[in-house]
Structure 1
Amino acid sequence: MRKSGVIFDFNGTLFWDSKYQEDSWDEYLQLHSINLTKAQKREYIHGRNGKDTFEILFNRKLNNQEVHQFTEEKEVLYRNECLKNKMELAPGAKSLLEELKARKIPMAIATASGKTNVDFFIEKFDLLHYFKKEHIIYDDGTVKGKPNPDLFLKAIEALGADRKKSIVFEDSFSGIQAAINSKVSKVFIVNSTGDNYEGFDLPVIKHFDEFDITLIA
């Protein structure tokens, strides 16, 4: 019998880096003379994979080499922002991860980040203490980005978990929709930015201590 799985988005969920993302995107957009409203950034950038985002920004189809080039140009700016600041997991995240690990509950990360950022996170947060490397699912160019459910479904399959018993934690609007589209048991919104999520009829937490671990079967 397949067990419940717990799947975490990373940016804005396990790592509250929204300011670093915003600052690096603002710098990147300015370098390319692209002007976006806050609503457009939420729709076109946050939670989406690189190919989708850059094709929207540059208004044309891109090949894999171009996607890699544009992504790395932006992510160098992002990682520099991270390194200027204190990097730590979200409030209550370490305790929850330790508890899930102790209970041997399958858990994964499903992030729209690319490999270079994931490698950076693995090193800075010692993620392999909590997650098997094969359970850290990222944008490798082969999976449709959020709001498509593919990243979450790939994570659930990697865990060998029961989708209908699994739980997803997300923060971005496109990611929340992807989690809903994956038809998991429960979706928890992690409000790391004080955003308004009233359009979703879902539980919202501001600290991982607020999550009741007994909800996991």
Structure 2
Amino acid sequence: MKKKAGLFDLDGVIFDTEGQYTQFWSEEGKLLQESSDFSARIKGRTLKEILDRYFPDQKQADEVIKRLSRFEQEMVIEYIPGAREFILGLKEQGVKLAIVTSSNDLKMQNVYRLHPEVKKVFDVIITADKITRSKPDPECYLLAARELGMKKEECVVFEDSFSGLEAGRRAEMKVVGLATSNPAEKIADKADVVVPDFRGLSFTDILN
């Protein structure tokens, strides 16, 4: 069946922000006296899930939210190399586009402020506020396909995190792994195709 839709994770796939989030959550993990892989363990989780599990005290959770909000207002949000050109190319070809992210609407407002083209280019944007189960559960990708009016067999998922790659697989969609957050060899068995970034990439390359 012909692939007609591209479903993109946000951080580490469209925008080069994963390193910044890794640093932020590593610092938060130190406050909890968690191990050094705290940021890796919470990747792909919604903020609500992180707070419920690791910051059950409301006062502590409120402080984390304040720090995160301030951090996101100041963070640099730049495209992964080649991502903007690749996505605009798909749009011109008539491919339906969705963002599927564990970020909430508040974070997305900052994205729209810095990159207003995002709301115009993507047909559907699935955020943490629209789902009940985060990645690796496939709910978010299946919801995106439904909102696009596409069958799962018509969709290609673009992901970088282990939980996101698993979500795409469990949604029974073709999965492209971006080696932006993890080494290519670490995600090779979790994706149908692995690429370093979007430079020089075409949709035809992926499908073949």
Classify the TM-score, shorter chain. Answer: 0.7 to 0.9
Match of 1:9 in 2: 9
Q: Distance in 1 between matches of 2:48 and 2:202?
A: 36
Q: TM (normalized to structure 1)?
A: 0.82
Report the 3-state secondary structure (helix = DSSP H, G, I; strand = E; otherwise coil) of the residue aligned with 1:145: coil
* Counterpart selection for 1:167 from 156, 163, 166: 156
Q: Distance in 2 between matches of 1:75 and 1:151?
A: 23
Q: Distance in 2 between matches of 1:35 and 1:12?
A: 26
CA offsets, 1:134-188, max 9 Å, x none? x11100164210110111111111111121121000011111111111111x101
CA offsets, 1:71-115, max 9 Å, x none? 632421431451xx4x32111111111111111110100000011
Match of 1:130 in 2: 121
* Counterpart selection for 1:49 from 46, 50, 53: 46
Report the 3-state secondary structure (helix = DSSP H, G, I; strand = E; otherwise coil) of the residue aligned with 1:174: helix
Any residues of structure 2 matched to 1:25-104 within 5 Å, and which? 25-30=25-30, 33-43=31-41, 45-58=42-55, 69=62, 72-82=65-75, 85=76, 87-104=77-94
Give the conservation status (yes or no) of the 8 Å contact 1:50–1:71: no
Does the C-alpha gap of structure 1 residues 98 and 124 become closer, same or farther in structure 2, counting only changes over 3 Å?
same
Match of 1:24 in 2: 24
AA matched with 2:23:
D
Number of residue pairs matched by the alignment: 204
Any residues of structure 2 matched to 1:108-127 within 5 Å, and which? 108-126=98-116, 127=118
Q: TM (normalized to structure 2)?
A: 0.85
Give the conservation status (yes or no) of the 8 Å contact 2:22–2:40: no
In structure 2, the gaps of 5 or more residues are none
Does the C-alpha gap of structure 1 residues 68 and 152 become closer, same or farther in structure 2, counting only changes over 3 Å?
farther
Bigger relative contact order, structure 1 or 2 (CA pairs below 8 A, ≥6 apart): 1
Tell me, yes or no, if structure 1 residue 192 matches structure 2 residue 180. yes
Q: CA shift at 1:16, angstroms?
A: 1.2
Report the 3-state secondary structure (helix = DSSP H, G, I; strand = E; otherwise coil) of the residue aligned with 2:99: strand
Report the 3-state secondary structure (helix = DSSP H, G, I; strand = E; otherwise coil) of the residue aligned with 2:128: coil
Q: Distance in 2 between matches of 1:3 and 1:198?
A: 21
Match of 1:146 in 2: 135
Does the C-alpha gap of structure 1 residues 163 and 112 become closer, same or farther in structure 2, counting only changes over 3 Å?
same
Q: Distance in 2 between matches of 1:112 and 1:67?
A: 21
Q: Distance in 2 between matches of 1:12 and 1:25?
A: 15
Sequence identity (%): 25
Q: Distance in 1 between matches of 2:192 and 2:150?
A: 22
